[in-house]
Amino acid sequence: MPHRPPPKTPTLGCLLAGLCLVFTGLLCNLPARAADILLTGAEDSPGMQSFVQALSELRPTDSVRFQPVASLPAPGQLPVDTRLILLDLPSLDWRLQDAQGPATLVLRISRLQARQRLGNEMPTHLSLLWSDPPLDRQLRLTRLLLPEARRVGVLFDSHSEFLLKEVRQAALPLGLEVVTERWDNTNDSRPLQALLKNSDVLLGLDDPDLYNPKTVKNLLLSSYARQLALIGPNAAFVRAGSLASTYSDQNDWLKILDELLDRPSSTWPRALYPQHFKVLSNPQVARSLSIEPMNEASVATQLAEGERRP
């Protein structure tokens, strides 16, 4: 990661370059000290208010404000040095109508949603901060909690199919086998049954077509009936009965934003999984599945340490 240089002995050239970077950073940061941070979303919910409030407390020298997207001009008409943060999909739609305008951080967007809106493109003026837990992290969580599980079952549909390649790639170094099953019609339980038969654990992709209030009961009861745990797809599912998941909450995102806002927008990555995260588990489900009670904080630390290693 750019803000965390690899720990090796710097050469003179590197040192000079580093020095330049620091200066450039300082220069860029000077206007940023009084930066205009504009957050926008379709409507001003209490959740958004508290988030804006928390961000302004974190950055007292900046001007942090929220404005509903309906009241904003076209993105191109905003000052270029505005630090624009989008909080929902309607505001992304608004931002996408104009290629001009300030660099933008897009929050609360999942890989699936981005794919549906943007296809394979990664617009250069956007930084997409993924809301869904990274699959590699979820797989490593799976291996940590269920070291004996070998076959990881993954349900997908046409919207989430593009993630399978990534799951397989992430599973390979962990020695896990990915078993997949297409589930286009969630009223038909056969694909789920077929998958349960061939898996040791299920990994949920954050695909609301598959994992939603309508399917949650069948998914969890059927997998539990076979004594199989579900990992993911998100924190809400853990409360419903999934064994565990990694997730990033408001505090994690505030830390991430704080770090990004300290940097010139030109160095923002095109897309980013949050490096700050937590682990949520369901101790009652763990107990019923004969799994040792876990210390969520230490599991999160172990996972984070694993990610720091090259």
Partner 1 sequence: MVLALIFSSPLLADDLFLDNDPLPQVLTATRLKQSPAAVPGSMTVIDSELISASGARDISELLRLVPGMMVGNISGNQAAVNYHGTKASEARRMQVLIDGRSVYRAGLATVDWSDIPVAMEDIERIEVFRGPNTVSYGANALMAVVNIITRKPADSHGTRLKVTRGQRGINDFYASQGMGWDSGDLRLSLSGQQDDGFDSDRTGADYRDSRRLNRFSLAVSQMLNENQSIDWQLNAKDGTNQRPYTYRPVFSGITAAGNNSDVIAKDYAGSLRWNLDINPDHSLYIQGSAQHWDRQQTWRACDAEISFSPELTQLWQLNPNYTERLARNMDRYTVSGAPAGTAAERALGNQVLRQWQDGARQTLCGDIDQSARESRYDLELQDTLSLSDSLRLVSGMNYRYDRANSETYFNGTLDDTTWRAFGQLEWRATEHWLLQGGAMYEDTQLTGNSLTPRVAVNYLINPRHGLRAVYSEAIRSPDMFENNVNWSYQVTNLKPSAYGQSSARYFVKTRGPGDLEQERMRSRELGYNGYFAEWGLAVDVKLFYDEITGMISEPLRNNQYIASNSNSSRFSGTETQLDWRVSSADRLRLTYAYVDAEASNPLDAQQTARNSGSAGWLRSWGQGWNSALFYYGADALNGYRFERVDTRIAKRIGLGKANLELAGILQQRLDNQPTTFVDNNYDDRRVLYFSAELEF
Contact positions toward partner 1, by CB under 8 A? 45-48, 50-51, 87, 107-108, 131, 147-148, 150-151, 187-190, 193, 212-214, 216-218, 220-222, 224-225, 234-237, 239-241, 247-250, 252-253, 280-297
In angstroms, the CA 66 to CA 68 distance is 7
Identity of the residue, 55 or 170, whose beta carbon is nearer to partner 1 in the bound complex: 55
| Contact (CB, 8 A) for 92 and 112 | no
Looking at beta carbons only, is 6 or 46 nearer to partner 1?
46
C-beta closer to partner 1: residue 215 or 265:
215
For partner 1, the closer of residues 108 and 263 by Cβ is 108
Instruction: Give min distance, CB of 306 to partner 1, in A.
Output: 21
Q: Which is nearer to partner 1, 122 or 297 (CB)?
A: 297
Are the C-beta atoms of residues 28 and 20 closer than 8 Å to each other?
no
User: How crowded is the C-beta side of 226, counted as CA atoms within 13 Å?
Assistant: 19
CB of 27 to partner 1, least distance (A): 32
CA dihedral 47, 52, 58, 59 (to 10 degrees): 170
List, as one string, the DSSP characters of 7-58: SSPPPHHHHHHHHHHHHHHHHHHHHHHT-EEEEEESS--HHHHHHHHHHHHH
Please identify, using beta-carbon distances, which residue of 87 and 89 lies nearer to partner 1.
Answer: 87
Q: Which is nearer to partner 1, 32 or 48 (CB)?
A: 48
Residue among 182, 206, 40 at smallest CA distance from 115:
206
Determine how β-strand 83-86 pairs with β-strand 36-41.
Answer: parallel
- How far is the C-alpha of 23 from the C-alpha of 176, rounded, in Å? 46
Smallest gap from Cβ 28 to partner 1, in A, equals 27
Are 232 and 245 spatial neighbours (Cβ–Cβ below 8 Å)?
Answer: yes
Number of H helices, E strands in the chain: 12, 12
Cα 28 versus chain centre, distance: 27
